[in-house]
Each structure stands twice: as C-alpha cells, then as structure tokens.
Structure 1
Amino acid sequence: MHPILDGIELVTFDLDGTLVDSVPDLAMAVDAALTDLGLPPPGEARVRDWVGNGSLKLMERALEDALGRVSSDALLTRAHQGFLDHYARDPSAHTRLYGGVREALDALRDWGLPLALVTNKPSAFIAPILEALGLQGHFGLCLGGDSLAQKKPDPAPLRHVAAHFGVLPAACLMVGDSRHDIEAGRAAGFRTLAVPYGYNHGEPVLLSRPDAVVESLWELV
C-alpha cells in the first residue's frame, strides 16, 4: 500500500485524465459541433488542452479558438447543445482506461475502502462510461459538474462526498490529474494525489504541489 493511503478512509477520484483518456470521444463531439456551425474543427490535440472545467467551458474555449474572439452567449448555447447531442450518441466509443486503473480500483474496493467519483463532466455521461468500461460497481457516489451548484476547483463537491460517507476530510484522499483537482482537494481539507499523464492545460501538475504523485495508479496498491 502506498504511504499516501495511511489513515485514509475514503478515496475520491477525478474521471477524465485520471481514470480514463476520454479526449478522442470529446474531440469528435467538439469537431462535429463546430462543423455544424460552419466553423473549423480544432482536432484532438487542441481539445486535449481544453478539457477539465466542464463541457460548457470546453465549448467556450473551442469557439474562441475558432473565431479568434469571445463568442456570443447565443452561439455558445448552440455550440454546447450540439456538443452534448453528438457526445451523447456514444461517449465511450474510443474512451479507454489508463494502465493500472482497473487493478488499483479493484484492490481498493477489495480492501473495503469506500470510493467516490467527482468529475466536472455532465452527470448524464458518467454511468454510460463506467458501464462500458466495467466500473459501474466500484463507486459508492458519483458527482458530475451539474450535480451541485458548484464544481471543482470549488471544494463543495468534495465536502459533500465526505459528509455523504460520514468521513472527516482529513481522512479523505483526492486523486486527480489537474490543478483543479488539487486545489479542490486542498481547500476541502483532503490529502491530494496527482497523476502526471492527464489533462492540465499544458502545465505540469507538480506545480500545484500535491501531497504525492504516482506515475500509475497501480503504485497505490
């Protein structure tokens, strides 16, 4: 067991960029939504740097890149709905688990540690992705970016998770790939663990000073 788990009674995970590489599916939906509007699609490489703050912010960044300026609210609303429609058709077609994720989640569950998922992805997409990847039974609670009034980096979702399980924040661990995960965890009073392979807007997640870093979640167990 990794030392970061010493005294931990609840582990909370981010989804995109931490457990799964979902950018191929996200990028296809972004490209399709912009194409519908007669705008140039950005492609997967650009989308990879825009993921992490929810789907509305993702489309805001995509529109700003395509237009070279901030879009109108009306255009953003149309683009966002187009993205949601395209993504909903199959949000897991090309989404894959990172190496070591399944083994780590299986081991933590077998040890009896409660597991939660807190993502900024719209909540409607969580269950289909988890089911497609065979992870639907691993998490006792899943929160999306629209589950509460606040989302990461606000600590409210993590505080909600701790209260739901009746665990003190100091005995909780937040595992993520971005500064938003680390900031939310720190503000909530959680211990924080980062993985360096995900989506962090082109910045090394080490700059956010997590309590620990692992190259693969397999190192947890």
Structure 2
Amino acid sequence: MHPILTDIRLVTFDLDGTLVDSVPDLAVAVDAALDALGLPPAGEARVRDWVGNGSLKLMERALAHAAGGLPGEALLARAHADFLEHYGRDPGSRTRLYPGVREALDGLRGGGWVLTLVTNKPFAFIRPILAQFGLEDHFALCLGGDSLPQKKPDPAPLLHVAAQFGLSPSACLMVGDSRHDVAAGRAAGFRTLAVPYGYNHGEPVRDSRPDALVDSLAELV
C-alpha cells in the first residue's frame, strides 16, 4: 500500500487524463463540430492541451483557435451542441485505459476503500466509457461537470462526495492529472495525488505540488 493511503477511507478519481486517455475521441468530436461551421480542424495534439475544464470550455478554446478570437455566445452554443451530438454517438471507441488503472481500481476496491469519480466531463458520458472497460460497478458515486452548479477546481464536488459518505475530508484522497484536480483537492481538505501522464495544459503537474506523485496508479496497491 502506498503511504498516501494511510488513514484514507475514500479515494476520488478524475477520469480524463487520469484513468483514461479520451483525447482521440474528444478530438474527433471537436473537429466534426468545427467542420460543421466551415472551420479548420484542431487536431488531437491541440485538444490534448485544451481538456480539463468541461466540454463548453473545450469548444470555446477550439473556436478561439480556429477563428482567431473568443466566440460569441450563440456561436459557442451551436458548436457545443454539435460537439455533444458527435461525441454522444461514439464517446469511447478510441479511448483507452492507462496502464496500471485496472490493477489499482481492483486492488483498492478489494481492500475496502470507497471509490468515487469526479470529472468535469458531462455526466451522461461517464457510464458508457466506464462500461466498455467493465468498471461501472467499481465506483460508489460518480459526478460529472453538470451534476452540481460548481465543478473542479471548485472544491464543492469533493465536499459533496465526502458528505455523501459521512466522512471528514481529511479521510479522503483526490487523484488526478491536472492543477485543477490538485487545487480542488487542496481547497476541499483532501489529500492529493497526481499522475504525470495526463492533460495539464502543457504544464508539469508536479509544479502544482500534490502531496504525492506516482508514474502509474498501480503504485497505490
């Protein structure tokens, strides 16, 4: 057992960039939405740096890049709706689990930890992605970016999770790949652990000073 788990009873995971590499599917949907507006594609490499603040912000960044400036409200709403439609048709065929994820989730669940998931991805897409890997039953609670009025880096989703299980935040661990995960965890009073392989807007997540950093989630167990 990793020392970060000492006295921890609940582990909350981020999804995109932490458990799964979803950018290939996200990029296809972003480019389809841009194409519908007659705009050039963003491509997977750019989308990788834009993920982390929810789908609306993702499309805002894509439009700003393609059109050379921040989009108006109507244009953003149209592009976001197109993105959701395209992504909803196929949210997971190109998405892959990162190495060590299954071992970590199986080991933690078998060891008695409560596992939850807090992502800024819309809630509707969570279960289809988890289900294709047979992981939908591993989590006692899942929250999407639209489950509450606030989303990460606001601590509210994490505080909600702790309250749902009657736990002090100090008995909870936030596991993620970005500064938003670390900031949310720290503000909520959770312990924080980060992985360096995900999406953090091109910045090393180590710079956000999580309580611990592991190269693979398998190191937890």
TM-score, with structure 1 as normaliser: 1.00
Structure 1: segments with no counterpart, 5+ residues: none
Match of 1:61 in 2: 61
Matches of residues 117-196 of structure 1 in structure 2 within 5 Å?
117-196=117-196
Q: Percent identity?
A: 77
Separation in 2, partners of 1:38, 1:134: 38
Separation in 2, partners of 1:110, 1:70: 47
Structure 2: segments with no counterpart, 5+ residues: none
Deviations 1:14-68 (A, max 9, x none): 0000000000000000000000110001100000000000000000000000011
Separation in 1, partners of 2:133, 2:150: 27
Match of 2:16 in 1: 16
Structure 1 stretches of 4+ with a deviation exceeding 2 A read none
Separation in 2, partners of 1:157, 1:71: 28
Deviations 1:108-152 (A, max 9, x none): 000111000000000000010010111011000000000000000
Separation in 2, partners of 1:81, 1:70: 17
Match of 1:84 in 2: 84
What amino acid does structure 2 have at the position aligned with 1:67? A
* 2:18 match: secondary structure: coil
1:4 Cα deviation from its structure 2 partner: 0.2
1:76 Cα deviation from its structure 2 partner: 0.2
Separation in 1, partners of 2:48, 2:133: 21
* 1:166 match: secondary structure: coil
What is the number of residues matched between the two proteins? 221
What amino acid does structure 2 have at the position aligned with 1:191? R
1:90 Cα deviation from its structure 2 partner: 1.1
Separation in 1, partners of 2:106, 2:34: 39
Separation in 2, partners of 1:101, 1:165: 24
Separation in 1, partners of 2:167, 2:21: 29
* 2:50 match: secondary structure: coil
TM-score, with structure 2 as normaliser: 1.00
Task: Tell me the C-alpha RMSD between the 2 structures.
Answer: 0.4
